[in-house]
Amino acid sequence: MTITLYNTATRSKQPLEPIEDGKVSMYVCGPTVYDRAHIGNARAVVVFDMLYRLLRHEYGAESVTYVRNFTDVDDKINARAAEEGRPISEITEETTQWFLDDMAAIGALEPNEMPRATAYVPHMVKMIEGLIEKGHAYAAEGHVLFKVRSYADYGKLSGRSVDDMIAGARVEVAPYKEDPMDFVLWKPSDADTPGWDSPWGRGRPGWHIECSAMAYELLGERFDIHGGGNDLTFPHHENEIAQSKCAGHDFANIWMHNEMLQVEGKKMSKSLGNFFTVRDLLDQGVPGEVIRFVMLSTHYRKPMDWTEQKRVEAEKTLVGWYWMTEDAATGEVPAALIDALRSDLNVSKALMEMHLMAKNGDAAGLLSSMTLLGFPAVNQNLSPSLLEKVQRTNAAPDMLDSNSDLQLFQKKLESLRADALVSKDFSALDDLKGKLGAAGVEVRMTKEGVTLSPGPFFAIENLEVLK
């Protein structure tokens, strides 16, 4: 039952070998709480939720510890509070609850521990004191800075050298820094900014030290997996490693990073008008299960594109699956599905397996797979809007007929290939292959023959137009 995961630190896949036999511990960087989570934030949550669910399935729910923090001290939060003329704690409490509600709506389980940074400031101060004692940090003008050059492996995770970073970056060189690369562990607060008493005066922690301190308090000196979006690899995770290693901790064994989310092929941004939050989608009537399906359909290490077409097709697929499994009894999760998930969380492959189960009428296998992927059963909190569509469906979903359609196209491709081998004109073959690909069908051609299988976004309607 080995799970293989891609480790950013070694740039290779490796088997998960828990530090403590039979138990797994994981830390994932959580949100800064000042606004609604956007769908990019949701991708990271769904990816690590899927991993958490797999780990619970493999090791037992009580043997997995998942920690995800809330960053509730940050200059963006201070700015938001000032802008709205409201107390900071009101903003952070409200946003934290929004986050939990929105993530629950897309099927994310709550981690075992959700530490808030403001509750761990004394632990951060202690860690910073230790770093100063060991010569890895220094105090200057009310700040404390981490001495990057005191940690020889700095840059290893992200594959950068300190000298290149200095040459390439426009690092703000504050007068109190000994070296432009040194980063803030502690900074002074004025009367209007939240602050805590410390050996360096009233101030507040930098962002990076928060994760090092909370991971240590809750998971100890070493733990199995550390996760986050790949935008955090540098500097956040590089800095976490430097702090924790210099404090004498082993820290994380495996580093996992999800790729970013785009919208209709473009970077999501407020200025492009393609920025939206999970709540926006839910309010527009997009069921949480549909959002989850779209998020899961792209492998976590590939950039993912949120498109309207995917949303529509995900809904169609889910309506069909729910229709089919409504009265099914759960069975064992099929081995092919587990194997896909164990292989660096290949959820897109898992979804393909589920299409095949649907096609072959394996309702029990499909239902247990849906449960493992975090899709609630019809009678367990399914979004009312999705439930209504399932109940309005009164015929077997189209996908049940897809078997014969796929066979039809397979025969067509085989005969086109035979022709092309004679005429040396492959255009008709390539054309149909391309169209099938665009319809969500995976086409594999080998010497042995042609095989077609439905991909995660396969929809039978797409085949109709090709007939």
Q: Which listed residue (24, 261, 354, 358) binds ligand AMP by CB under 6 A?
A: 261
Q: What ranges in 229-383 are assigned the alpha helix state H?
A: 238-246, 278-283, 288-296, 308-325, 335-342, 347-359, 363-372
Does 41 bind ligand AMP (CB under 6 A)? Our answer is: yes
Does 31 bind ligand AMP (CB under 6 A)? Our answer is: yes
Please check whether residue 246 is in contact with residue 153, taking contact to mean a CB–CB distance below 8 angstroms.
no
Report the residue number whose CB is nearest to ligand AMP.
Answer: 229
From the list ligand AMP, Zn ion, none, pick the one residue 254 interacts with, judged by a Cβ distance below 5 to 8 Å according to partner type. Answer: none
- Closest to ligand AMP by CB, 304 or 356: 304
Q: Which listed residue (8, 32, 253, 325) binds ligand AMP by CB under 6 A?
A: 32
Stretch that binds ligand AMP, among 2-10, 226-234, 334-342, 394-402 (CB under 6 A): 226-234
Q: How far is the C-alpha of 104 from the C-alpha of 160, rounded, in Å?
A: 37
CB of 224 to Zn ion, least distance (A): 16
From the list Zn ion, ligand AMP, none, pick the one residue 211 interacts with, judged by a Cβ distance below 5 to 8 Å according to partner type. Answer: Zn ion
Does 206 bind ligand AMP (CB under 6 A)? Our answer is: no
CB of 278 to ligand AMP, least distance (A): 12
CB of 211 to Zn ion, least distance (A): 3
Does 29 bind ligand AMP (CB under 6 A)? Our answer is: yes
From the list ligand AMP, Zn ion, none, pick the one residue 268 interacts with, judged by a Cβ distance below 5 to 8 Å according to partner type. Answer: ligand AMP
Q: How far is the C-alpha of 318 from the C-alpha of 287, rounded, in Å?
A: 10
The phi-psi region of residue 60 (left if phi > 0; otherwise alpha if psi is between -120 and 50; otherwise beta) is left
Close Cβ partners of 125 (under 8 Å, ≥ 6 residues apart): 186, 196, 198, 199, 205
From the list ligand AMP, Zn ion, none, pick the one residue 31 interacts with, judged by a Cβ distance below 5 to 8 Å according to partner type. Answer: ligand AMP
**Distances 178 to 104, 144, 174, 183 between C-alpha atoms, Å:** 45, 11, 9, 10
Q: Which listed residue (90, 164, 231, 283) binds ligand AMP by CB under 6 A?
A: 231
From the list Zn ion, ligand AMP, none, pick the one residue 214 interacts with, judged by a Cβ distance below 5 to 8 Å according to partner type. Answer: none
CA 115 remoteness from chain centre: 19
- Tokens for 281, please give them: 């989608």
From the list Zn ion, ligand AMP, none, pick the one residue 440 interacts with, judged by a Cβ distance below 5 to 8 Å according to partner type. Answer: none
Stretch that binds ligand AMP, among 39-47, 59-67, 184-192, 437-445 (CB under 6 A): 39-47
Q: Which residues bind Zn ion (CB under 5 A)?
A: 29, 211
- Concatenate the DSSP letters of all residues of 178-220 into one string: SSTT-EEEEEE--TTS--B--TTSSEEE-HHHHHHHHHHHHH-
Stretch that binds ligand AMP, among 27-35, 352-360, 410-418, 441-449 (CB under 6 A): 27-35
- Quick one: three-class SS letters along 15-83? ECCCCCCCCEEEEECCCECCCCCEHHHHHHHHHHHHHHHHHHHHHCHHHEEEEECEECCCHHHHHHHHH
Stretch that binds ligand AMP, among 4-12, 37-45, 174-182, 204-212 (CB under 6 A): 37-45
Torsion of CA 14, 254, 375, 282, to 10 degrees: -140
> What amino acid is encoded at 10 in this protein?
T
Does 110 bind ligand AMP (CB under 6 A)? Our answer is: no
Q: Which listed residue (229, 397, 440, 455) binds ligand AMP by CB under 6 A?
A: 229
Please check whether residue 65 is in contact with residue 219, taking contact to mean a CB–CB distance below 8 angstroms.
yes
Q: How far is the C-alpha of 242 from the C-alpha of 208, rounded, in Å?
A: 10
CA-nearest of 364, 355, 365 to 399 is 355
CA-nearest of 351, 349, 372, 338 to 50 is 372
What 3-state DSSP class applies to 238?
helix
CB of 213 to Zn ion, least distance (A): 11
Kindly report the number of other CB atoms within 10 A of residue 312's CB atom. Answer: 13
Does 420 bind ligand AMP (CB under 6 A)? Our answer is: no
Does 115 bind ligand AMP (CB under 6 A)? Our answer is: no
- Closest to Zn ion by CB, 165 or 214: 214
From the list Zn ion, ligand AMP, none, pick the one residue 205 interacts with, judged by a Cβ distance below 5 to 8 Å according to partner type. Answer: none
CB of 127 to ligand AMP, least distance (A): 22
- Beta-ladder partners of 324: none
Does 95 bind ligand AMP (CB under 6 A)? Our answer is: no
CB of 349 to Zn ion, least distance (A): 29
From the list ligand AMP, Zn ion, none, pick the one residue 140 interacts with, judged by a Cβ distance below 5 to 8 Å according to partner type. Answer: none
- Closest to ligand AMP by CB, 6 or 59: 6
Please check whether residue 48 is in contact with residue 106, taking contact to mean a CB–CB distance below 8 angstroms.
no
Binding residues for ligand AMP (CB under 6 A): 29, 31-32, 40-41, 43-44, 228-229, 231-232, 260-261, 268
